[in-house]
Amino acid sequence: MADTAGPVAEPGLEARVARLEADVAHMRGDIAEIKTTLNRLAPLIDEFRGFMAATLPALATKVELAELRVELAELRAEILQRPTRRQAIFDMFAVVGVVGAVLAIATHVAH
């Protein structure tokens, strides 16, 4: 047997290499699209990160929200204990009536 000093030709090898080359070309295109997308997203991500860094310190924590809920509950209870406007008006009329009655009795007794 004579050695041809070249690679041994396998059946279908050229077709597989051609398919691999096509796949690599397709992957290069996909990678180029990914890079383009990342280049467009990078400034938006940086802007969002800056916004978050500036905003997060001002946001309330869960503990602060819980404390605020307790404060609101206390205020509600305090408001419920206060008389309503109708009750305050009724109380004023009652006081005026009592004062009027006392004055009427006092003038009647004085005569």
Q: Domain extents for the chain?
A: 11-59, 61-111
Contact by Cβ (8 Å): 91, 83: yes
- The reported pLDDT for the residue numbered 11 is 75
- pTM (2 d.p.): 0.42
Report the distance separating Cα 107 and Cα 100, nearest Å.
Answer: 10
Q: What is the pLDDT of residues 30-89, one digit of tens each?
A: 999 999 999 999 999 999 999 999 998 888 999 999 999 999 999 999 988 888 888 889
Statement: residue 1 has pLDDT above 80: no
Please check whether residue 95 is in contact with residue 87, taking contact to mean a CB–CB distance below 8 angstroms: no
Answer yes or no: are the C-beta atoms of 60 and 68 closer than 8 Å: yes
Cβ atoms of residues 97 and 105 within 8 Å: no
